[in-house]
Amino acid sequence: MEVKTVNAATTPSASCALVVSVVAPLSADFTLRADVTLSPGITILFGASGAGKSTLLDCIAGLVKPAEGKIAVGEQVLFDSARGINVPTHARRAGYLFQTLALFPHLSALRNVAYGLAPISKHDRHQRAAALLESFHVGHLANKRPHEISGGERQRVALARALVTDPDFLLLDEPLSGLDASTKSRILDDLRAWNRQHQIPIVYVTHDREEVTALGERVVVLEKGEIIAQGQPLEVLHAPATETVAQLAGFENIFDVTVESLHPAQGSMTCRLAQGTVTLETPLSRGGEGDHLRLGVRAGDILVATEHPRNISARNILQGVVTLIEHGSRFVILRVNCGAQFEVHLTRGAVESLGLREQLSVWLLIKTHSCHLLERW
């Protein structure tokens, strides 16, 4: 996979990592408290709107002044409340792609890109800007104003503009939102190519899981101003520690549970669902008896049997009644009442061969390791 090669080829040099540790008010209720090291390469920043993603980017760019904290890129301190350092935005050498793109409406594409090259001569400036536009496949639009070109073309111009200054770090706020899949993947290719040549920290805000897995070397999840998870995309998405990630990773079944007993020898524990009398065996994790946790099970991870299964490794076998069968476009959605409501996704073939119908008595099989414990909020 391409991401892997990038990962292997990159030995993040500690000298140009972006180290951010800031406290900044977000709203009356929430405060951004971010403490994170962003190594060269692409870091995905995840989170619901209002979680503080844009504020974090603005702090790094110097557009918002944190209440306290420290921001440094390599050796260069950009902000340090204790030492009274606050480098102004124009001196931070940031590349920032805004969600709204913020292209200058009164300038042509070429002059938008050349804007960041003020210190060099006009001729060189325009030549470099033209070359970069060319490499982002919008060279032919150099003399067009932003309102004269399409959305995808505008995004390419804005990306070129953010990169032309050869920034020390790059901040991308949902740079590809609203684009069709093929345009998106072509721009992602361009960005990956650029990333291979320029190893700088890139912070990439997105909601799109495909972008995460296609681009991200690391994921940082922000919720209500706090960093609640970080790591490699597959780790974060597959072993989600919190409900935000769970929703991103697609858990159809989320339950409030109480830890009933621990079985360290088996590496498991028993949890009782808050609704009803159902207990589930889950992997042993943080927390002790009586703790309240949240548990997520993917609808596609649940097996269905029409008679009581024997000699099977699945530790959770729950008897229930099918309450609803819904034919979706890609699979069939089953709702089963086992004392708690479970959503199960099956293929159409499985539903037919089992002869499943509403009111039928069934058994649900859930592996211990299909029960994901999430932090409770």
Q: Does 91 bind another protein (CB under 8 A)?
A: yes
Given 6, 72, 102, 314, the residue binding another protein (CB under 8 A): 102
Q: Does 105 bind another protein (CB under 8 A)?
A: yes
Q: Does 49 bind another protein (CB under 8 A)?
A: no
Interacting positions 157-176 with another protein (CB under 8 A): 161-162, 165
- Closer residue to another protein, CB minimum distance, 101 or 248: 101
Count of residues that bind another protein according to CB under 8 A: 27
- Closer residue to another protein, CB minimum distance, 107 or 354: 107
Task: Tell me, letter by letter, the H, E, C secondary structure of the chain.
Answer: CHHHHHHHHCCCCHHHCEEEEEEEECCCCCEEEEEEEECCEEEEEECCCCCCHHHHHHHHHCCCCCCEEEEEECCEEEEECCCCEECCHHHCCEEEECCCCCCCCCCCHHHHHHHHHCCCCHHHHHHHHHHHHHHCCCHHHCCCCHHHCCHHHHHHHHHHHHHCCCCCEEEEECCCCCCCHHHHHHHHHHHHHHHHHCCCEEEEECCCHHHHHHHCCEEEEEECCEEEEEECHHHHHHCCCCHHHHHHHCCCEEEEEEEEEEECCCCEEEEEECCCCCEEEEECCCCCCCCEEEEEECHHHCEEECCCCCCCCCCEEEEEEEEEEEECCCCEEEEEECCCEEEEEECHHHHHHHCCCCCCEEEEEECHHHCEEECCC
- Closer residue to another protein, CB minimum distance, 112 or 368: 112
Q: Does 94 bind another protein (CB under 8 A)?
A: yes
Q: Does 95 bind another protein (CB under 8 A)?
A: yes
Given 33, 48, 81, 98, the residue binding another protein (CB under 8 A): 98
Q: Does 152 bind another protein (CB under 8 A)?
A: no
Stretch near another protein under the rule CB under 8 A, chosen from 94-102, 201-209, 259-267, 366-374: 94-102
Q: Does 92 bind another protein (CB under 8 A)?
A: yes
- Closer residue to another protein, CB minimum distance, 45 or 158: 158
- Closer residue to another protein, CB minimum distance, 106 or 310: 106
Q: Does 86 bind another protein (CB under 8 A)?
A: no
- Closer residue to another protein, CB minimum distance, 86 or 165: 165
* Contact flags string 110-129 toward another protein, x per CB under 8 A: -----xx-xx----------
Given 34, 61, 141, 220, the residue binding another protein (CB under 8 A): 61
Residues that bind another protein (CB under 8 A): 58, 61-63, 88-96, 98, 100, 102-106, 115-116, 118-119, 161-162, 165
